[in-house]
Chains A and B, each alone.
Chain A
Amino acid sequence: MIRSEILRNIAPILRDELVVCNIGLPSQEMHLIDDQPTNFYMLGTMGLSSSIGLGVALAQDKTVISIDGDGSVLTNFGTLPTIANNVANNYILLIIDNGSYGSTGDQPTYAGQKTSLTAVARACGCENVIECKAEDTGEVLQAAIDSKQMTIIVAKCESGNIKVPVITKDPVVIRERFMQAVKS
């Protein structure tokens, strides 16, 4: 199972939540599969999906899910201690770990080799860290939402991409639409 199949499976769960979508293909795939005003699409700035999502979660009460990738978490490793030490129980970090930099041509990441992001997140002090198979992502995600506990999910999947168009929406439109959804 590849990332786009996970996103297709969990789209009905994500629909009712605030979602910060990682740069590149994850945003483009979510945009294609189920565009919602509650989705914030990152058009640039690799690595910051988890930080943006945590900021949204700390600023208000609705559930926020950051969809991140193993490569992006490796880019912004400092995010995990910050998350661990600033607990927001309305926050879920969903790391789709396909062991590769998917948007740039599937170059292998260290997360697909010796480095376990699950172990790193735990070592950073994150309390609810769940590693799951791709097929179980929906069930684990729904349980995390229902638990109302800050949760880090590492969903292990295969690398691979589908062909998707780039997002041409204006960034200010994406941001304003998301902010209205936060307030509604």
Chain B
Amino acid sequence: MTVSEKIVADLVANDVQFVTTVPCKQLAGVIDAVDKNPDIYHIPSNKEDEGMGLCAGAYMGGKRPAIIMQNTAIGVTINTLVTLTQYYRMPLPMLISYRGELREPVACQVEMAVHTKALLNQLNIPTYHFHKESDVDEFDEILKYTFMCNKPVAILTDASFWGGYGE
């Protein structure tokens, strides 16, 4: 089972049926696996705050949601995380590609990487960092934790976790 297949299997096992995505090169495999899974409604978003709105609606409609996005989205979504997801106490697993880490070829990505954990910390968002492939073993527990506490939870996944940037 690939890492992407394991992630999607855990989503399905935890009854996550509504997944929105904004693409990143590192996430191409998992987005493809989400799209192919018949148990998940995959709705691509044009921007991550829009995606969080869709997820809030799906949750209130009775479906467990998740969002897959790049860490640059933290810069886009702070207002939505604070005034919608957190203020109304809604669960939201956020599978995030952690660009700008080791093996990153694009220098500009480092500029957001250096702020990513500080921002998540400032927002009191529980944050997990997947660096080695075996870290994916915790994904199932992180999903259970997210829907237990009704909070947005960040899972940062760096290039080493994905086996490289795609080079």
Chain A interface residues (CB < 8 Å from chain B): 20, 40, 42-45, 47-48, 50-60, 64, 76, 78-79, 81-82, 86, 171-172, 174-175, 178-179, 182-183
Contacts and interface: CB of A to CB of B under 8 A. Distances in A.
- Among B46, B60, B62, chain A packs the most CB atoms within 10 A around the CB of B60
Contacts of B90: 175
Chain B, interface size category, equals: 20 to 34
Interface of B: 18, 41, 43-47, 49-63, 65, 79-80, 82-84, 87-90
Contact of B54 (A43, A51, A172, A179): A51
Given A78-B47, A79-B50, A174 B61 contact: no
27 contacts: A20-B57, A45-B53, A45-B83, A47-B49, A48-B56, A48-B80, A52-B54, A55-B53, A55-B57, A55-B59, A56-B58, A58-B63, A59-B18, A59-B57, A60-B61, A60-B63, A76-B47, A76-B49, A81-B46, A82-B44, A172-B88, A174-B88, A175-B60, A175-B88, A175-B90, A178-B60, A182-B60
Nearest to A86: B43
Nearest to B85: A45
Nearest to A75: B49
B18 A82 contact: no
Given A43-B83, A59-B57, A59-B61, A48 B46 contact: no
- Among B56, B61, B88, B89, chain A packs the most CB atoms within 10 A around the CB of B61
B56 to A, nearest CB: 5
A175 to B, nearest CB: 4
A178 B49 CA distance: 22
Q: Label chain A's interface by main secondary structure.
A: helix
